[in-house]
């Protein structure tokens, strides 16, 4: 009986990192016959399926999703999954050996949970610069301590809500989200190709909360997130901060919890000039990345169709 479905959505994966992810899954203590492994190839340019070995898993499968975009790859995984629980694993995540077992136990003890997550800790193969910690959140890194935190809908987005990396979802709670995507009711766009847009994880969480279920942070769920050098440059993080800030405003506005008002398009250049002198992006990496985030904010607010507060 399949109880858990592990879904890995990937596009042109780094083979070394993907194989580390698979080794982490191979070492799980949860009975292997009680979970399945679904790898979704999201229209990769260079075929990789012949270069990975999942023959060790009796319920392992590689499926192609030709429609480009993380949203559609995840949707494919949701639709093909057989387990009552779905665990979203990125192709650069290494789960602790008891991750699946702990996730299953947590849901068994609380039927009102819709989604949970835990710690996402960095794994570097280089010495990271000290300023990088300011942007761990942008890199899907998080450690909220050793206390369990459980939250319900309070007309805002909870700070302790699960992040996409390692998120565990009760499949029965995904109905509203799947309906939005399949019927093109959602305007939230996840990463597609070189775009660093995001928001799909948060969209799932908000739909679960608004359905009356709870979400939680559980420190017993721990994974290592492999961070390569190229994702720590100010250029990459600046683009990431700009795109993710823009996506965040779109998400909050769609769910009518946006605390900001729409601004005029003509004011955007003036606001960016002012931000240039406030943030002094030429002075250091952190200021440059924050300036990029401010630009993403102004772009998003100018593009809103209405004020949804």
Give the CA diameter of the chain: 60
Q: Give percent of the chain with pLDDT exceeding 70.
A: 94
pLDDT tier for residue 45 given thresholds of 50, 70 and 90: confident
pLDDT at residue 193 greater than cutoff 80: no
Q: Which domains does the chain show, CATH number per domain? A: 4-231 (3.90.550.10), 235-303 (no CATH)
pLDDT tier for residue 305 given thresholds of 50, 70 and 90: confident
pLDDT digits (tens, 9 = 90+) for 5-36: 999 999 889 999 999 999 999 999 999 999 99
Q: What is the pLDDT at residue 49?
A: 83
Average pLDDT, the chain: 92
Question: What's the sign of the alpha-carbon dihedral 98, 104, 110, 114?
Answer: positive
DSSP letter for 205, please.
H
pLDDT tier for residue 186 given thresholds of 50, 70 and 90: low
pLDDT at residue 95 greater than cutoff 60: yes
pLDDT digits (tens, 9 = 90+) for 243-302: 999 999 989 998 999 999 999 999 999 999 999 999 999 999 999 999 999 999 999 999
pLDDT tier for residue 309 given thresholds of 50, 70 and 90: very low
Among 257, 248, 171, which residue's Cα sits nearest to residue 210?
A: 257
Buried b (16+ CB within 10 A) or exposed e, 283-292: eebbbbbbbb
CA distance 244 to 33: 38
pLDDT digits (tens, 9 = 90+) for 167-181: 999 999 998 888 888
- Element holding 95 (H helix, E strand): strand 93-95
pLDDT at residue 190 greater than cutoff 70: no
pLDDT tier for residue 54 given thresholds of 50, 70 and 90: very high
pLDDT tier for residue 130 given thresholds of 50, 70 and 90: very high
Find the length of the chain: 309
Pair 229, 237: CB distance under 8 Å: no
DSSP string covering 268-282: HHHHHHHHHHHH-TT
- Element holding 122 (H helix, E strand): strand 113-123
Q: What is the pLDDT at residue 211?
A: 93
Q: What is the pLDDT at residue 181?
A: 83
pLDDT at residue 208 greater than cutoff 60: yes
Least confident range of 46-60, 69-83, 179-193, 212-226 = 179-193
Give me the mean pLDDT over the 39-68 stretch: 90
SS3 assignment, position 7: strand
SS3 assignment, position 294: helix
Quickly tell me which residue has 């998120």 as its tokens. 167
pLDDT digits (tens, 9 = 90+) for 134-159: 999 999 999 999 999 999 999 999 99
pLDDT tier for residue 70 given thresholds of 50, 70 and 90: confident
pTM of the model: 0.93
């Amino acid at each position: 009986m399949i109880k858990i479905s592990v879904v890995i959505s990937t596009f042109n994966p780094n083979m070394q990192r993907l194989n580390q992810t698979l080794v982490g899954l191979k070492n799980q203590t949860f009975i292997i016959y009680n979970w399945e492994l679904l790898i979704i190839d999201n229209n990769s340019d260079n075929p990789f399926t012949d270069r990975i070995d999942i023959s060790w898993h009796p319920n392992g499968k590689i499926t192609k999703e030709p429609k480009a975009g993380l949203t559609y790859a995840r949707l494919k995984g949701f639709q093909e999954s057989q387990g009552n629980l779905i665990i979203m694993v990125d192709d650069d995540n290494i789960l602790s050996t008891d991750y699946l077992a702990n996730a299953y136990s947590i849901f068994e003890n609380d039927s009102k949970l819709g989604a949970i997550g835990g710690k996402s800790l960095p794994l570097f193969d280089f010495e990271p610069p000290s300023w990088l910690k300011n942007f761990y959140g942008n890199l899907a890194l998080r450690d909220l301590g050793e206390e369990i935190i459980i939250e319900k809908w309070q007309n805002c987005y909870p700070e302790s809500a699960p992040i996409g990396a390692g998120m565990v979802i009760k499949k029965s709670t995904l109905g509203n989200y799947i309906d939005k995507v399949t019927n093109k009711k959602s305007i939230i766009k996840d990463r597609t190709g070189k775009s660093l847009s995001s928001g799909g994880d948060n969209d799932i969480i908000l739909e679960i909360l608004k359905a009356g279920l709870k979400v939680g942070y559980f420190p017993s769920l721990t994974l290592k997130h492999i961070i390569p050098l190229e994702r720590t440059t100010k250029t990459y993080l600046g683009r990431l901060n700009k795109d993710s800030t823009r996506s965040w405003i779109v998400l909050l506005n769609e769910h009518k919890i946006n605390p900001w008002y729409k601004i005029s398009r003509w004011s955007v250049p003036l606001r960016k000039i002012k931000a240039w002198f406030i943030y002094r992006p030429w002075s250091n990496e952190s200021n440059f990345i924050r300036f990029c985030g401010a630009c993403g904010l102004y772009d998003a607010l100018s593009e809103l169709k209405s004020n949804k507060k």
